[in-house]
Amino acid sequence: MTVPTTTSTTGASARWLRRPRPCHDPEVRLVCLPHAGGTASAYLGWAARLPARVELIAVQYPGRQDRLVEPCAQSVSEIADALASMLAPYTDRPLYLFGHSMGGLVAYEVAVRLEAAAGPGVANGRLANSPGLAGLFISGQLAPHRSTPIAEPLDDATVEAEARAAGWSDPMVFDRPELRELVLPALLADVRAVLSYHRRDPVRLRCPIVAYGGSGEPGDVPAELSAWGEMTSGPAAWRCFDGDHFYLRSQEAVLITDILSRMSN
């Protein structure tokens, strides 16, 4: 399979996938998916913390920043369908997915699609050092079998109230008129996609799963993180960091070090 290059990453793929430090011959790739209302720029600083052997691919959802004129996705599945297709050429090397908050659900759904395309037969997701989906890192998100969709109409007021209560965005987004106009449409669309997400029979993956979260999140954080282990037949682990839903901002260096250590195993 031909290794994608900067010049070949054009059109739709270039809109979705941002490669701040393109690598012609990486050992592995790490795809990072942002939270509701988030952007690829949230992960661009990660590139400086990653060794040269790891290529970072940051995902840019439609409806924000340089994709502002594009309509926002209406569901988690819509985003996952597009991304699974975009990422297929990058599975010539071991591929890891990291998703925070909404990005965690999207990462799981992308993993489902990539494993289905690869077919059965590889224990724990892959053979050592072989291409394909190598692992899934989930952050700040309930496992699919633990999430319950909201049945009531998801009007803007309901969605905004849920986003505020869950701490899924900086309060300034809601309170500053100039930010509301720019950011709120994408945030509401993303939160609506999360609140309506449901899988009657969640697919159990083969790849390893590691779940991360902040100790200040509401609920029983260790129980919710460990529940991700039920979503794979491969190895599973979890780790809790000091902080709230956005613990990864203050714990970025430690988080990336942990991710790298698990990628090398």
The tally of CA atoms less than 13 A away on the side-chain side of residue 228 is 28
The DSSP code sequence of 69-95 is TSPPPSSHHHHHHHHHHHHGGGGGSEE
Whether residue 134 lies inside any domain: the answer is: yes
Alpha-carbon gap, residue 12 to 79, rounded angstroms: 13
Whether residue 124 lies inside any domain: the answer is: yes
Whether residue 159 lies inside any domain: the answer is: no
Whether residue 76 lies inside any domain: the answer is: yes
Catalytic machinery residues:
101, 245
Whether residue 196 lies inside any domain: the answer is: no
Q: How many domains does the chain have?
A: 1
Whether residue 236 lies inside any domain: the answer is: yes
Q: What is the pLDDT of residues 131-155, one digit of tens each?
A: 699 999 999 999 999 888 776 677 8
Domain interval for residue 214:
11-145+202-263
Whether residue 21 lies inside any domain: the answer is: yes
Alpha-carbon gap, residue 132 to 116, rounded angstroms: 11
Pick from 7-16, 187-196, 228-237 the range whose average pLDDT is largest: 228-237
Alpha-carbon gap, residue 93 to 89, rounded angstroms: 9
- CATH number for the domain that contains residue 75: 3.40.50.1820
Q: Helix axis angle, 177-195 relative to 102-118, nearest 10°?
A: 40
Under 8 Å between Cβ of 93 and 174: no
pLDDT at 6: 36
3-state SS assignment for residue 98: strand
Model confidence at 1: pLDDT above 50? no
Q: What is the pLDDT of residues 81-112, one digit of tens each?
A: 999 999 999 999 999 999 999 999 999 999 99
Alpha-carbon gap, residue 38 to 34, rounded angstroms: 5
Which of 247, 245, 226 is closest to 237 using CA atoms? 226
- Beta strands (DSSP E) in 23-62 are 28-33, 54-59
Whether residue 35 lies inside any domain: the answer is: yes
